[in-house]
Structure 1
């Protein structure tokens, strides 16, 4: 097996691929997601997604062979609550993730009931529309400790040599109360800091991420950091690898600046 890269993706809003006007607005994001499978040295055996939409008191790993759907969004058309993305799960790899985390001294449990949230099924539908790629998720841990999530990534870096593609799925800007033209400047300021940070490698990059809340417009861009913390797992699993920006949109969701990165 070739070593797979890791990714942090901005996953867009709600069930956007199924809403024509939203999908048109996110055409740049869509193209970036379509391109990801083409960037890989070989087809993954499975994809592990760390989504900003699943949080637990203990790191939890989706272990169902056929995960259900989780419609964790509000105010969208009725048909978007009937969406089915019936990709298979990856219970064997779920057990492997638990083994790696526990061996590293990180408490982790499996969850046979958790389903795909939209931070997973929306972008993965674009990447693998046939739903034929085994997919499973790892939760965030409540408290959002940057150090803990970096450590999780470090513990899981060997999966990259075992055919598992690791994707942190969130948003580089996530303030649902600040949209439209008012979002442009703070999202741009934080995005510039993020790019400068991710262009570094090793301890320098990780140390800057530990102090992310002091970045320009950080708490405006992320009042609650659930959509930023998936980045830490992707970085931890590729700590020495170069970052490449694979998506950049100055009008994401209307006017915010958003980006995605590949590591390795």
Structure 2
């Protein structure tokens, strides 16, 4: 069975902490079949055209500032898989999506922070994929549909973003959860469980306090990539907690249909 996963990656500090989220990611990985390769989509990489990492040894990108020094010492030395990056780019270019490979780009913290807990040995071939923040949720949903046809059952698709993401509402010293966060979190969950995909793609018009939950779209767009790649069944929800007063940390595990034999890669 092939899988697709959406993770709310939270603060870069999740890479260091033994937090509820870190423990939940570790437990989630222990339940999954070990993948041969990973394609991970990050909210922290937006590009037009789409880009895929194509280095054999992608660097660990510390794309943040003002955090404790040990965070900058972390390396996640997962091998890359340029052949997979080229195959996916070729597949997407044959569809409606322009895509390019990038041999210099490494893995940003939206990728390596959760991967460090999911697969701490960093021994699974990993390719990163950008989003395009100028495009709407529907476009990313169609992107997910096309990716599903390019990935075999040995490849785990992970999209990394956040169910809520308003950094202006983070209050590190105040444990009180912002009132709108749980309402938005519950709306997303209920619509995923009933697979109301069209309403989800119009969340800005329909969800409570959508503008405050997401002043901009980029951290929710990866969810639509996974949603488009998934089959029609309801996902399993993990880690429905809120970190730093305003970051809903939910993760969702979907099943998906593997790609056609002509696109499947040998292990």
- Taking structure 1 as the reference length, the TM-score comes to 0.89
Residue 182 of structure 1: CA displacement?
6.5
SS in structure 2 at match of 1:196: helix
**CA offset digits 1:146-170 (Å, max 9, x no partner):** 1211111000113453411011101
**CA offset digits 1:40-66 (Å, max 9, x no partner):** 2x3211111111100112111111110
Distance 1:255 1:15 in 2: 15
Equivalent position to 2:131, from 140, 161, 166: 140
Distance 2:246 2:132 in 1: 31
**CA offset digits 1:102-157 (Å, max 9, x no partner):** 22221111111111100111110111111111111110113131121111100011
Do residues 186 (structure 1) and 184 (structure 2) align? Answer: no
Contact 1:170 1:230 survives alignment (8 Å)? yes
1:12 counterpart residue number: 10
1:210 counterpart residue number: 201
SS in structure 1 at match of 2:12: coil
Mind listing any 5+ residue stretches in structure 2 that lack a counterpart? Answer: 256-267
Contact 1:183 1:256 survives alignment (8 Å)? no
Do residues 262 (structure 1) and 256 (structure 2) align? Answer: no
1:153 counterpart residue number: 144
Residue 219 of structure 1: CA displacement?
1.0
Equivalent position to 2:95, from 79, 104, 107: 104
2:194 counterpart residue number: 200
Do residues 62 (structure 1) and 53 (structure 2) align? Answer: yes
Equivalent position to 2:62, from 51, 71, 76: 71
Contact 2:29 2:118 survives alignment (8 Å)? yes
Do residues 31 (structure 1) and 31 (structure 2) align? Answer: no
Mind listing any 5+ residue stretches in structure 1 that lack a counterpart? Answer: none
Distance 2:59 2:245 in 1: 31
Residue 183 of structure 1: CA displacement?
4.7
SS in structure 2 at match of 1:69: coil
Q: How many pairs are equivalent?
A: 251
Query: Which runs of 4 or more aligned residues in structure 1 lie more than 6 Å from their structure 2 counterparts after TM superposition?
Result: none
Residue 88 of structure 1: CA displacement?
0.5
Contact 1:101 1:155 survives alignment (8 Å)? yes
Residue 84 of structure 1: CA displacement?
1.2
**CA offset digits 1:156-196 (Å, max 9, x no partner):** 11345341101110111111101246752111111111011
Distance 2:62 2:79 in 1: 18
Contact 1:244 1:261 survives alignment (8 Å)? yes
**CA offset digits 1:12-65 (Å, max 9, x no partner):** 2014322xxxx14xx22112211222232x321111111110011211111111
